Amino acid sequence: MKKKAAILVVIIIIFIFAIFICLKNQKNNKVKEDLNFLDKCAYEQVSENWIYYFCISYLKDENKEFKVINEYDFGGYDLLNKDLSDEYGIPVKDKKTGEIIDYMDVNTHGLLYGKKTREDTIKIIDYFNSPNFKQENLEEDLKELNLSNINENIVIKLYNKCLKESDITFGKYGENPFVATLTHEALNGTVEVGYILYYGNIKFLKIDFIYKDGNHLSDIIKGNDATDKQIEDYNKILSLEEKIVFTQKLDLDDDFEFNEFDIAYLKKLLSELIEE
Amino acid sequence: MFSNYGRFVKYICYKLTKEGGFDMKKKILYSVIALCMMCIGLSGANAWYTITSSIAGPDMTPGTTTSKGKTGSLDSAYTTATAENTVVLFSNLKSINSSLVSSNSRRMYGYLYEYDVANSDDHVKTYTWTFKGRALDSVTITTHLTGNIESSGDNTAELYMKFLTTKISGDPSGTKTGSYFTYAMGMN
């Protein structure tokens, strides 16, 4: 009798678990089925800090195929907000005077927000989305934009790469901003994570540790002063970044320990930064 | 005065710890600002006299205006609270949810109101945001009222915000924007 009761309890637990999984998948499937657009993007890490991208957004045509180009987008982000060579913010204008009266803080430094790169970025985006855009004149037209701080060759490279991108499946992280950065205080410094999504999939994820003196672990490694423990941590970070992007899972193994900070801070940070 | 001023310094300290990030330049800048503000405060003059703590932007359904947000009861340094002395600071600006269509035509509107117990609430300002793709691009402030927003001699304004992110054809039904900014309301 007791054995039968135990079996019944196990069956009920499995049943409840199965319903939970079905409901969770239903939510994800609902998002995928409802999507009326397809994004194709090409990315390039142009420097240690910067990832540039070019995206084409497609809508469905009358045959329900993603053939109608909705929009072009170009940009770049410094996922760890390390590049201090520019100032970043969104300009605030007064409608009456048309003057810029302030700048507002952004979460992740981007080409669109840099005082040196904003104008170029807007010129590029507006050009591609204008009736004047013709693929055969691309090189010539970009030269005529007279870009000051963005190399038109990287734009051309990314655009051509984007045209060759295959369709991908919408990922499980779609209900998050497509780029974000977050920090979490640890005992002896700060853990920082930044990511870029591609159609709901984590495309890039960067992790770093910032000591209380402001130095980044990723910068210390480049010098000759890094300790063995710091080198070990840095290599673990690189492995972890690759693993997360490859598996699309944010679970951290319990035996994945760092010397410079408690992994609990990183786990908490990831759970706050990206929702599944 | 010191308790209200303390709230402003607390805001700056908050900026230092979280939203200022660990960009050393920003840390130094905000520390200097806090120090200057403390000196100015002691001399009797103030920038933002009172300000709310940072409020998370709402998780919005595109096409639907949000209900009334958190109300801040804010004192002006002047005898009567006026429209010109209201301020809204946005920070931690991100992009909208990746499940929504990328569109340069999308807009986000932030409507600043002053609560009026006797009449309709005053619509003081509108913050109109543009997008590039899914990322916020620029903001323009339109001030709808001038002069007093409270009775003469009443320097306390009760401010709140409502928001609207426009819907673009192709946005999946039922999908929300996510909370993609934080804001604080203040009075000079």
Report helix, strand and coil shares of chain A as percent, to nearest 5. Answer: 35, 30, 35
- B44-73 per-position pLDDT tens digit: 444 578 999 999 999 999 999 999 999 999
Count the Cβ atoms, other than its own, within 10 Å of residue A21: 10
Please check whether residue A95 touches B, CB under 8 A: yes
- Which residue shows structure tokens 């039904």? B173
Task: For residue A91, give the chain B residue with the closest CA.
Answer: B138
Whole-number Cα distances in Å, A101 to A118, B139, B141: 17, 11, 10
Task: For residues B37 and B43, give the distance between their C-alpha atoms in angstroms, rounded to a whole number.
Answer: 10
**Which helix (H) or strand (E) is A217 found in, with range?**
helix A217-220
Q: Using the beta-carbon criterion (under 8 Å), do B23 and A84 form an inter-chain contact?
A: yes
- Report the b/e string of A164-183 with b at 16+ CB within 10 A: ebeeeebbbbbbbbbbbbbb
- The region of weakest confidence among A238-242, B16-20, B57-61, B128-132 is B16-20
What residues in A contact B135, CB-CB < 8 Å?
75, 110, 112, 178-179
Please check whether residue B96 touches A, CB under 8 A: yes
Please check whether residue A114 touches B, CB under 8 A: no
Whole-number Cα distances in Å, B76 to A94, A184, B9, B133: 21, 35, 16, 38
Quote the Cα angle for A167-A172-A174, to 5°: 80
Q: Which two structure tokens, joined as six digits, stand for B86? A: 């209201």
Q: Which two structure tokens, joined as six digits, stand for A117? A: 């790169």
Q: Using the beta-carbon criterion (under 8 Å), do B172 and A81 form an inter-chain contact?
A: no
Q: What is the ipTM of this complex?
A: 0.84
DSSP bridge partners of A209: A191
pTM of the entire predicted model:
0.82
pLDDT tens string, chain A, 276 residues long: the values are: 778 888 888 788 887 877 766 655 554 444 455 688 999 999 999 998 899 999 999 999 899 899 999 999 999 999 999 998 899 999 999 999 999 999 999 999 999 999 999 999 999 999 999 998 999 999 999 999 999 999 999 999 999 999 999 999 999 999 999 999 999 999 899 999 999 999 999 999 999 999 999 999 999 999 888 999 999 999 999 999 999 999 999 988 766 789 999 999 999 999 999 988
DSSP bridge partners of A195: A180, A205
Q: Which two structure tokens, joined as six digits, stand for B68? A: 């009334």
